[in-house]
Amino acid sequence: MPTHSGELRDLLYRDTIAALSSAPGKGAIAVVRLSGAETEKIVRKIFRPKDPEGDFENRKFRVGRFVGADGGAFDEGMAVMFFGPGSYTGENMAELYCHGGPGIVRALLVAASEAGARPAGPGEFTKRAFLAGKIDLLQCESVADLVSAETRRAAQAALSHLDSGLSKTLESIWEKIVEAGAHLEAAIDFPDEFEPGAGPAVQGKPMDEKELARRFMEVRDALEGLEKTYNSGRILREGARMAILGRSNAGKSTLLNRLLGEERAIMSPTPGTTRDTVEEVCDIGGIPVRLIDTAGIRETGDPVELEGTKRARRAAAGSDICLVVVDAAAGPEEVRWANAELGELDCLAIMVANKMDLPHAKAPGRSKFSGKAACVCPVSALTGEGIENLRETMASTLIGNEGDEFGGNQLFLARERHRDLVVRCKKAIERGAEGLNNTTSPELVAVDLNEAQRALSELLGRDYGQALLDKIFSTFCIGK
């Protein structure tokens, strides 16, 4: 991986940074991190080891006391050195473990600062790792995603990016584009040989226009496969919104409480109980889902209820999927009502046939909602029957199996930046393939291929500007 020398040199020789890496506030233990050329010198000034005869060894803890500029000790803890270039940032680094009181942390940061460190900016440790060529830009982004993952599954998706899953897939696409570029270049340099079956020998068999166009389409399909994973990736990273809609008294609030496992919303036999929307995040099959309980929809002259109904529709419009709750004991008219009243929402829906514990309850068979097929989940929000199946249906409807396409690695595009660049690359490849099929001059096809390469390059962080770095790292925690 290339190092990014200019900026790196500045960073390496100018300053050593320090920051609290654990969460701020009171805790049992806090971790302060340092990185930069002066790290060891600073640690020796602010940490007095219990075994003064010993010395720092790479990645080995030492017990001792933290001291301020006046030489007074203020805490007991541990220090560990990570010597470059094998460290996270590639520079000399240290982690100091102190007791997690805000007073101690402040004193330790002041001591580090007085000894020559400056406070780190957001994500500056990871930025240094990037500039030192230790990790690529996609991996940097996955570090931030890992830190902010709300569920185990979201963390797994981020981890697969950190393990270079996405980088490797993109690298293999890059290589195919470079190979196609070499053949195209040869066609430009030796135009007479750009005939079917002829052409100069470029890395193995020569390629004619047809073969090149076929290769272009292969690349295009791979990019499209990646693009398709975006919605699922976004949902895993940012969470999904799911409004619970239905007629008054269908059991929406009871369902919300059942899914949350706590009595969050008020439930009652009186229709019109829920007036305003009630939101809560829960883990559905590893996906962070914001459930929004809404006011029941019914004809009413009550202005508060009318406003509640408006808010319910607004919540539905901003949702990834809606749960349409119907009272299964109220007859088939309930489903017709749901379609008539909510059909204009035009959103993906799961139909929840509630109150299945009642003697006359009957769940509708396959259902359509807003003209689209909708899964029907028979449940009893009261007893919990069918809730596990509903959870599974919610998870599979939200994420599907797109992530499995890449060798079962659960690879997802999780950021808009990634999706946009994949689409830009795909479009350029499509234009190139079209050019080849229409026997456009190879020079023009080469322009498209260059554009595809530029997009991939930007995605992999080989080609980046300060603005992009600032944007990415500004979302990081300080200390990461």
Ligand X SMILES: Nc1nc2c(ncn2[C@@H]2O[C@H](COP(=O)(O)OP(=O)(O)OP(=O)(O)O)[C@@H](O)[C@H]2O)c(=O)[nH]1
Chain residues that interact with ligand X, rule: CB under 6 A: 246, 248-254, 267-269, 271-274, 295-296, 354-355, 357-358, 380-382
Provide the minimum distance between the beta carbon of 275 and ligand X in the complex, in angstroms, as a whole number.
Answer: 8
Provide the minimum distance between the beta carbon of 365 and ligand X in the complex, in angstroms, as a whole number.
Answer: 20
280 CB neighbour count, 10 Å cutoff: 16
| Contact in structure between 475 and 214 (CB atoms under 8 Å) | no
Q: In 3D, which of 380, 374, 264, 280 has the Cα closest to residue 323? A: 374
DSSP state of 122: B
Provide the minimum distance between the beta carbon of 349 and Mg ion in the complex, in angstroms, as a whole number.
Answer: 18
Residue 478 structure tokens? 């300080």
User: d(Cα 433, Cα 214) in Å, to the nearest integer?
Assistant: 8
Nearer to ligand X, 48 or 275 (CB): 275
Signed CA dihedral, 310, 315, 316, 318: sign only: positive
User: d(Cα 147, Cα 140) in Å, to the nearest integer?
Assistant: 11
Provide the minimum distance between the beta carbon of 97 and Mg ion in the complex, in angstroms, as a whole number.
Answer: 49
For residue 137, the surrounding DSSP H or E stretch is: helix 137-148
Nearer to ligand X, 268 or 475 (CB): 268
Nearer to ligand X, 341 or 463 (CB): 341
Residue nearest to ligand X (CB): 296
| Contact in structure between 159 and 142 (CB atoms under 8 Å) | yes
Provide the minimum distance between the beta carbon of 259 and ligand X in the complex, in angstroms, as a whole number.
Answer: 12
Report CA 448 to chain centroid distance, whole Å: 30
Q: Identify the bridge partners of residue 324 per DSSP, sorted by sequence position.
A: 245, 351
Nearer to ligand X, 270 or 466 (CB): 270
| Interacting residues toward Mg ion by CB under 5 A | 252-253, 273-274
Nearer to ligand X, 37 or 358 (CB): 358
Residue 271's binding partner out of ligand X, Mg ion, none, with CB under 5 to 8 Å set by partner kind: ligand X
Residue 445 structure tokens? 């096809």
User: d(Cα 111, Cα 42) in Å, to the nearest integer?
Assistant: 9
Nearer to ligand X, 235 or 295 (CB): 295
Residue 49's binding partner out of ligand X, Mg ion, none, with CB under 5 to 8 Å set by partner kind: none
Q: In 3D, which of 287, 281, 345 has the Cα closest to residue 312? A: 345
Provide the minimum distance between the beta carbon of 296 and Mg ion in the complex, in angstroms, as a whole number.
Answer: 6
Provide the minimum distance between the beta carbon of 294 and ligand X in the complex, in angstroms, as a whole number.
Answer: 8
**Phi, psi angle pair for 250, to nearest 5°:** -70, -20
User: d(Cα 357, Cα 100) in Å, to the nearest integer?
Assistant: 52
Residue 183's binding partner out of ligand X, Mg ion, none, with CB under 5 to 8 Å set by partner kind: none
Residue 116's binding partner out of ligand X, Mg ion, none, with CB under 5 to 8 Å set by partner kind: none
Residue 64's binding partner out of ligand X, Mg ion, none, with CB under 5 to 8 Å set by partner kind: none
Residue 249's binding partner out of Mg ion, ligand X, none, with CB under 5 to 8 Å set by partner kind: ligand X
Residue 301's binding partner out of Mg ion, ligand X, none, with CB under 5 to 8 Å set by partner kind: none
Nearer to ligand X, 163 or 385 (CB): 385
